[in-house]
């Protein structure tokens, strides 16, 4: 059977699968022998289960899936007030028995008439208009001046009713914006399509890396990477935001790393994407002895670059303000190997389709000298490449 025939039939079947971008192509995971739906009562058992697994050498010796925003708050003992929810599970992890490596060019041919179809019944609608955004912005600006937070991210959502083909949307997105942490999950009643750019955790042995992103510039015909770098370096607001997030991520790493090993390994560089440029720094460290998987997850998640800082007080402010659940947004997708190695992103630039409702969540950072219209428009820029897939 040809590789593409397999993908077509897999896409049209009810069998769940996951595609994860890797260097040189993609890995496809399927034939799941376990599906673990996480909640605050079984999360500890999940971590113990990973630790106690005996087979630690095969490619399939891992769980792959996501932690939603709410369960990461639970792990940090942060309460979330009653919110409007989709009732999507707080996290799901899968144990794959089949891994298929997709490399070089990807061409899809299909005999199925509905393979490429995505049916949208209405346009995307935003949950917070500019006036509402201004009220939240002004409230958080006051909290910044009072010292409760130094930076905070305002989340907006774009939603519509739509029946989608997640695999075709994913390949369409990869042609235009194949970000380093892109992934697709397709299951019975939900799918996630993501071009996430941000690596939150990359751990191999006792070495760990995080790559916080803080700083966004809209791409125009007159801009390039060199000009974007100059813009970030000379923009006081973007520099402050970046420095605060880098300091916080460095502090998070220091909780789990040996003293003196946390270093800035690549400082303030620019990454280019379809509609924007990002300001990025890479931080490395060496894990302390006796630090376990749960310790690492609690220290690093939710990722500070999409929350604000200081993390705990800012999370409490956000949760009191937000009326809708973040669901997957600012959670983390990735895998945990049975030997303790792991890789996780931050779930941003993502489409959640649950029971034929598509949801795109984005957030922009507020600091002491932020401009309300600029931040509101930045959210739209971040969501645009995903909404364009539905045209």
Give burial (CB, 10 Å; 0-12/13-18/19+) of 352.
buried
So what's the pLDDT on residue 113?
A: 42
Which residues of the chain fall short of a pLDDT of 70?
1-5, 105-122
Burial of 366 (0-12, 13-18, 19+ CB in 10 A): buried
| Report field, pTM of the whole predicted structure over 0.85 | yes
Rounded distance, CA 100 to CA 29, Å?
Answer: 7
How much is the pLDDT for 121? 57
Domain 3-205+292-390 is in which class? Answer: alpha beta
pLDDT value, residue 5: 67
**Residue (of 301, 287, 140) closest to 212 by Cα position:** 301
How many degrees, rounded to 5, is the angle at CA 91 between CA 159 and CA 242? 70
């Amino acid at each position: 059977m040809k590789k593409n025939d397999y993908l077509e039939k897999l896409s049209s079947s009810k069998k769940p699968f996951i595609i994860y971008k890797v260097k040189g192509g993609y890995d496809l995971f399927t034939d799941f022998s376990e599906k673990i739906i996480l909640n605050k009562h079984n999360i500890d058992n999940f971590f113990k289960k990973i630790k106690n697994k005996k087979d630690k050498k095969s490619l399939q010796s891992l769980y792959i899936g996501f932690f939603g925003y709410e369960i990461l708050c639970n792990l940090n003992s942060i309460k979330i007030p009653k919110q409007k929810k989709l009732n999507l599970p707080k996290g799901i992890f899968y144990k794959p028995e089949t891994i298929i490596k997709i490399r070089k060019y990807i061409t899809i041919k299909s005999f199925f008439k509905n393979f490429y179809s995505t049916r949208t019944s209405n346009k995307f609608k935003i949950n917070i208009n500019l006036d509402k955004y201004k009220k939240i912005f002004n409230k958080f600006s006051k909290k910044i001046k009072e010292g409760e937070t130094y930076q905070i991210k305002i989340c907006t959502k774009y939603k519509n009713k739509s029946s989608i083909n997640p695999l075709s949307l994913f390949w369409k997105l990869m042609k235009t914006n194949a970000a380093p942490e892109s992934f697709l999950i397709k299951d019975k009643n939900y799918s996630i399509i993501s071009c996430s750019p941000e690596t939150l955790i990359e751990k191999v042995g006792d070495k760990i890396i995080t790559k916080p992103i803080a700083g966004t510039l809209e791409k125009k015909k007159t801009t390039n990477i060199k000009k974007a770098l100059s813009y970030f370096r000379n923009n006081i607001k973007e520099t402050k935001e970046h420095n605060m997030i880098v300091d916080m991520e460095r502090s998070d790493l220091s909780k789990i790393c040996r003293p003196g090993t946390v270093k800035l390994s690549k400082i303030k560089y620019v990454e280019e994407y379809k509609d924007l440029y990002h300001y990025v720094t890479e931080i490395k460290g060496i894990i302390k002895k006796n630090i376990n998987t749960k310790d690492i997850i609690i220290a690093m998640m939710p990722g500070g670059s999409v929350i604000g800082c200081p993390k705990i007080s800012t999370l409490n402010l956000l949760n009191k303000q937000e009326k809708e659940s973040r669901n997957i947004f600012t959670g983390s997708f990735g895998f945990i190997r049975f030997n303790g190695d792991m890789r996780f992103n931050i779930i941003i630039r993502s489409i959640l389709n649950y029971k034929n409702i598509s949801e795109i969540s984005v957030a922009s950072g507020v600091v002491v000298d932020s401009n309300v219209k600029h931040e509101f428009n930045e959210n739209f820029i971040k969501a645009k490449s995903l909404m364009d897939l539905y045209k």
